Amino acid sequence: MKCMNCGYVTQKDSCVMVSETLDHPSGKGFINLMQKCQICSRLGLLKLFPGCSLPLSREVSVLGDFTPVMEMEYEGLEPVDLSFGHGWVVNSLVGGKLHPINLANEREVGFYFDGQVEYSVSNVQTKLVRSKRNSL
């Protein structure tokens, strides 16, 4: 995370999960991360919007394109990089079970068999894209 006041970039990763929420300090609903800059003490807030994701299809993957998996709003501190962790699931578009998946290993995540469907996730890459949405 980078401080939007002094520019300091934290050395330690910040973990954010949809299932872990905090009350917004101004009473405006909830947020998923609240932390202060270690240098200037500016308060940073971040909120996740998981409903903005699209399924990752084979066609998109083959083209080397990206699929949006999460939208977020922030103020005070801005994310400069991201990586996946645990807590994700693979869900086939043709039906079947949800398979827990750890995306922390970006090279090879696993193969899954679900009835007649075989699928895998590997070489996971991420990028941050700014939108013009208002901040928190």
**Is 40 a residue that touches Zn ion (CB under 5 A)?**
yes
H/E element, 60: helix 58-62
Using rule CB under 5 A, residue 5 touches Zn ion: yes
Residue 3 or 48: the one with the smaller Cβ distance to Zn ion is: 3
Strand partners, 34: 45
Six-digit token pair at 4?
A: 């939007």
User: Phi and psi dihedrals of 6, rounded to 5?
Assistant: -105, -10
Is residue 6 a contact residue for Zn ion (CB under 5 A)? yes
Query: Would you count residue 80 as binding Zn ion (CB under 5 A)?
Result: no
Interaction of residue 37 with Zn ion, rule CB under 5 A: yes
104 binds Zn ion (CB under 5 A): no
DSSP 95-134: ---EEEE-TTSSSEEEEEEETTEEEEEES-----------
45 part of the interface to Zn ion, by CB under 5 A? no
Contact segment (CB under 5 A) with Zn ion among 7-15, 24-32, 94-102, 125-133 equals: 7-15
Footprint of Zn ion on this chain (CB under 5 A)? Answer: 3, 5-6, 8, 37, 39-40, 42
